[in-house]
Structure 1
């Protein structure tokens, strides 16, 4: 059934109401490099939604990339939408205004696909609110053929089960190729005229990386534990493989980054210099699910920077990845960019720098045009033993040497990030965070009495597809007690600034991270009770979520505060990230004995399963003087 793309813009009704809300620029669009197409002249229309505020979602790389990839197709249009803040939601409901895109201010009914980018689980209630505001049927199995296809991608959908009731499709892994393939299928669906929604979903399930929740059902044991999530159709895969882009040089996006008209959390031209990570930090879901490592070449990155700055007018370049200093040609790349932009207003940054990858030469290249104000490192744990448990291979000596080098070369502020609540953690490990912060501060004072150190502490949340996916999570009361230990130890020194967050939102994130399909009822009930923006401290209400869980029979203690055994079925077992579950368990056992594992880009393969399973090798390097060259992976059993 064809969609009614004649559904008009709500701008005429919206514009007079913008004076009633804070930050009206969130809702007006009109940014530099925006793409606007006529709805009546395309064969498919996508509304790409980030379920948070404009200032948080606008810089999101996933949205920016898919926006360009889809709009490059001549018969396709893509627009964007962002979650309305509470004041705007109240205005919209009072005046009967639906959720809308920022390009043409059209509602979801004008689009074939409503696609959500889910970087974190705390956006789930916003997703339901957007469906409700947009007049889209909440439950996927009840949607009519002329309603938009509701899909989601991003790291959070590697466990899609708490959203399974609401999604038509989930996309696991890299989205560039999948988006184009799915777009072609949507165009067939709309032009055929006789395809049912079920037929479309059956075709979509054949695309690698696409999961159709309604084609699967969970099976539980008599004690309530999940045994498996199994396909209910013969043509559904038993395990859905993630999609992996093999050559980033072939996908140099974004080319024309959207430049906002109002302040956002990041205002820089962002280039992803490589994707994936093999450091093996056991707490890090992103590092596990994005394997193998795929690097962009130095020449491609330089071309992207040059073209991106010209098209955007931005003055900062962020060289992004999970651990940017690990790019095998990072020194040469930063040297080239430093030479090219020296004496201009353009600044360069590596937003993620490992302690053991920091060196003055690299930092000097990045600061030719700016002041040396602050550096950020993430030791993650305060003691050597704890860092071995989590496989964060930087030693205390590495950290202190990096700090000494930074302060001696003119930096004035170092930020340190840590987690508490990690497996096997003791009070001694917690106090080690304070001790390490104070040692770094002592080094800073030797180079200037105004030098500062900030210690930021967050509660650990076990994530799917990591060795810690079987672990219990610390309850908020225990996290607060451990924060108190740190506060007491550092209270005497005002030059050490301690920052920490309320651990209560971690309860919700933990529930949604590892919940099964039964948790969907709690998500829906929390939304009905008014839950929105669960990642924002000023609006988050833990009592609302506890009531939602009580109303729906979801036992928080059972989902959060118990260890799982090896044989228990996990809600995401049918989502194939490429990692062997048996290898993850073995690595978990190693962690309990504080045994470290080296980065497999530089050693023989240790058989995590990714490379043979995907038939894609890591792009690996080997130190050779001042440069790093690429070498092929050594397969298990071959070297």
Structure 2
């Protein structure tokens, strides 16, 4: 609180000062009392990104429900604000009370992408703490992390005291209460961490180590006596009964998602072989329609938003999606509240439903064929065909859409130039269908616009492709050049991502503990906000790798099927045998069905966790 006056006197000097003032609608301001455990919820990106993250919203309201706890928010300051804070000696602070981070008991990071890791170090440093966990004092907050990327926590193992693995609603309150009990006994932090390591879903990196062989391979994983060999992810077994907030904080400025976010289901069993989320968030669980209607109505009243976004890994796979949308449109469209779908399948049914829900406000449509040929779609187990796409596109144009975005990946295993030619052919065919419909239409239509977006395939942990090699820079650039040269012409546009950035993501995604010193070196050289193209500097990272005598190519090579992985310390429930079987099936182009609609695929998640698929609010 002592810094609030200094902060307010200087905010006019930075862009977007509303990022740093707090006091938004629905903010929770609890009194600071000695008997309350104080948790700073940190998101290592700017305010508008962090404010749109559903997981952080859930944690904020879940923790603040507890009488003995308070949770406040902190986001990564943009570069101009960081410069101001360092110049004026303002430590990193939370938005609710303006207390500096060192006043808290716990600093909890929510992680969504590997390119935010340098921001973690910067936030620790701005808080006045040492970036390395072993060098922090007993008085410093316990630094923990959870989220999408902690299924391989090793690249940042040297900076984090404790990782929680899995879905936090299921056990985070229990973990915090356990920590408070141990802290009240005046135990040193090392003893507290040892005791917390016994809690399911907790991984304490200081209790584990690795030894290395030649060519970057791991020779062995080591664990201290009395510590579990693997940390098992935690999950919510009944999504209908899980906590879900309705009084979302309403920001002062535009954020990524200006709407009520409604999670209709969690998990996916389509078994796309490139998709880490599809493996790590199994099994599939759905909220009931009645519960979703209740949440939506309360959230709209609490926030004043005029849009509901139905979100999940595969929204169109919700068992009763048609009934849900009919009930929502009947209830809310009369009040000019629009409904959007976070993802569409490539079929006419999806377009028809999208047409129903977008009567209030029509936006563009996005389809994700992922690959340009049926052969390659079979390799990645993307169960769609071109005829489905063409029918969906025709239906979209006939229903008044003029803009369609097509999303592909390049660099997928076994990809050839024929597969790239397939992307070009597919995009041009969709454009031609649009022109044909526009020409015949009696209604006035805008010009047809097909946007082709490609990302570079990055092999991820806990997927069937965790063993494959990633494309080198020259190959990626060659593929970009081909697509850019051939996706020219009226009605076509092409976008791609930075190949150097994709390669760095690939290194960190399958990285081990040796990368901690590389990340630290890059941060010391000025690395910040790597996920933002204007901030990424490949030169900095090249220097960091050379200084630490680490060859990034070692992390991008093809892995032996017998190889020990750094992330073998984590148990996501899906067996390594299943992933290896899927990898071999990909090489033969064999498909795997979705176990929601056909027989069990033996991924082992249900047996390992003693759960079942829960469709439509807990029904098995």
CA contact (8 A) 1:228 1:573 kept: no
Shift of 1:224: 4.2
CA distance in 2, matches of 1:55, 1:585: 39
Q: What displacement does 1:367 show?
A: 1.8
Instruction: Give CA deviations for 1:25-55 in whole Å, capped at 9, x if unaligned.
Output: 1111111110011222542011011100111
Cα deviation, 1:473-502, whole Å, max 9, x if unaligned, reads 1122211110111111121x2211111122
Work out whether 1:129 is the aligned partner of 2:122: yes
Pair 1:204-2:196 in alignment: yes
Distance 2:380 2:493 in 1: 25
CA distance in 1, matches of 2:418, 2:386: 15
Q: Please point out which of 495, 499, 502 is paired with 1:503.
A: 499
The answer to whether residue 434 in structure 2 is matched with residue 444 in structure 1 is: yes
SS in 1 for 2:400: coil
The aligned counterpart of 2:398 is: 408
Distance across 2 between alignment mates of 1:290 and 1:105: 35
Structure 1 position 575 matched with structure 2 position 570: yes
Alignment pair present for 1:13 and 2:3: no
Single out whichever of 342-351 and 123-132 deviates more from structure 2.
342-351
User: What does residue 530 of structure 2 align with?
Assistant: 534
**Cα deviation, residue 78, structure 1:** 0.3
Partner of 2:356: 365
Secondary structure at 1:470 match in 2 = coil
Cα offset for 1:171?
1.1
1:453 — aligned with what? 450
Q: Does 1:348 align with 2:344?
A: no
Distance in 2 separating the partners of 1:466 and 1:128: 28
The 5 Å alignment of 1:266-281 reads: 266-281=257-272
Are the equivalent residues in 1 in contact too, given 2:370–2:407 (CA < 8 A)?
yes
1:324 equivalent in structure 2: 315
Residue matched to 2:389: 399
Which of 20, 26, 29 is equivalent to 2:19? 26
Q: Find the counterpart in structure 1 of residue 366 from structure 2.
A: 376
Q: 1:631 to 1:64 in 2, by over 3 A?
A: closer
1:230-245, aligned counterparts within 5 Å?
A: 230-234=222-226, 236-245=227-236
Given the alignment, which residue of 171, 179, 183 partners 1:186? 179
After superposition, residues 46-445 of structure 1 pair within 5 angstroms as 46-192=39-185, 194-222=186-214, 224-234=216-226, 236-356=227-347, 358-370=349-361, 372-445=362-435
Q: Which residue in 1 is equivalent to 2:514?
A: 518
User: Is the 8 Å Cα contact of residues 348 and 388 (structure 2) preserved in structure 1?
Assistant: no
SS state of the match for residue 469, structure 1? coil
Shift of the alpha carbon at 1:360?
Answer: 4.4
TM-score (norm 2): 0.97
CA distance in 2, matches of 1:212, 1:230: 13
- How far apart, CA to CA, are the structure 2 residues paired with 1:604 and 1:307? 38
Matches of 2:536 and 2:291, distance apart in 1:
43
Question: Closer, same or farther in 2 for the Cα pair 1:256/1:9, shift >3 Å?
Answer: farther
Structure 2 CA distance, aligned partners of 1:248 and 1:593?
A: 37
Report the alpha carbon displacement of residue 631 of structure 1 after superposing the two structures with TM. 7.0
Distance of aligned partners of 1:145 and 1:257 in 2 relative to their CA distance in 1, 3 Å threshold: same
| 1:4-41 deviation digits (Å, cap 9, x = unpaired) | xxxx3421111111111111111111111100112225
Q: Report the secondary structure of 1:468's partner residue.
A: coil
Residues 71 and 78, structure 1, Cα contact 8 Å, conserved in 2:
yes
Q: How many equivalent residue pairs?
A: 613
Whole-Å separation in 2 of the counterparts to 1:504 and 1:612: 41
Q: Distance in 2 between matches of 1:187 and 1:345?
A: 47
**177-186 or 420-429, which moves further after superposition?**
177-186
Of 471, 474, 485, the residue aligned with 2:471 is 474
Q: Measured at CA, do residues 304 and 357 of structure 1 come closer, stay the same or move farther in structure 2, by a change above 3 Å?
A: farther
> Does the 8 A contact of 1:268 with 1:314 survive in 2?
yes
SS at match of 2:407: strand
Q: Distance in 1 between matches of 2:17 and 2:308?
A: 28
Partner SS for 1:125: helix
CA change 1:180–1:165 in 2 (3 A) is same
The 1-side partners of 2:426 and 2:554 are apart by 35
1:548 aligns with 2:544: yes
Contact 1:325/1:358 (<8 A) preserved: no
Q: Is the 8 A contact 2:286 2:618 kept in 1?
A: no
Contact 1:302 1:337 in 2 (8 A): yes
> For residues 172 and 482 of structure 1, what CA distance do their matches in structure 2 show?
37
The 1:222/1:429 distance shift into structure 2, 3 A limit, reads closer
- Cα distance change, pair 515–419 in 1 and its aligned pair in 2 (3 A): same
State the Cα distance separating 1:418 from its structure 2 match. 0.5
Structure 2 CA distance for partners of 1:118 and 1:357, relative to 1, 3 Å = farther
Equivalent-residue separation in structure 1 for 2:71 and 2:225 (angstroms): 32
Would you say 1:609 and 2:600 are equivalent positions?
no
1-side partners of 2:27 and 2:438: how far apart? 47
CA contact (8 A) 1:344 1:369 kept: no
Aligned residues of 1:252 and 1:300 also touching (Cα < 8 A): no
Distance, in Å, in 1 between the alignment partners of 2:418 and 2:245 is 46
Aligned with residue 461 of structure 2, among 436, 447, 464: 464
Change (3 A) 1:252 1:345: farther
Out of 37-46 and 304-313, give the one that drifted further.
37-46
The structure 1 segments of at least 4 consecutive aligned residues displaced by more than 4 Å after TM superposition are 629-632
| Cα distance in structure 2, aligned partners of 1:197 and 1:630 | 40
Tell me if the contact between 1:228 and 1:571 (Cα under 8 Å) persists in the aligned partners: no
CA distance in 1, matches of 2:496, 2:422: 16
Distance 1:488 1:80 in 2: 46
Distance 1:240 1:547 in 2: 34
| Change over 3 Å in CA distance of 1:172–1:630 after alignment to 2 | closer
Give 1:3's aligned residue.
none
Bigger drift between 243-252 and 72-81 goes to 243-252
CA distance in 2, matches of 1:68, 1:224: 43
Quickly say closer, same or farther: Cα 1:463–1:304, change in 2 above 3 A: same
**Displacement of 1:102 after TM fit?**
1.3
Distance, in Å, in 2 between the alignment partners of 1:203 and 1:230 is 18
Q: Distance in 2 between matches of 1:223 and 1:30?
A: 53
Distance in 2 of aligned mates of 1:222 and 1:10: 51
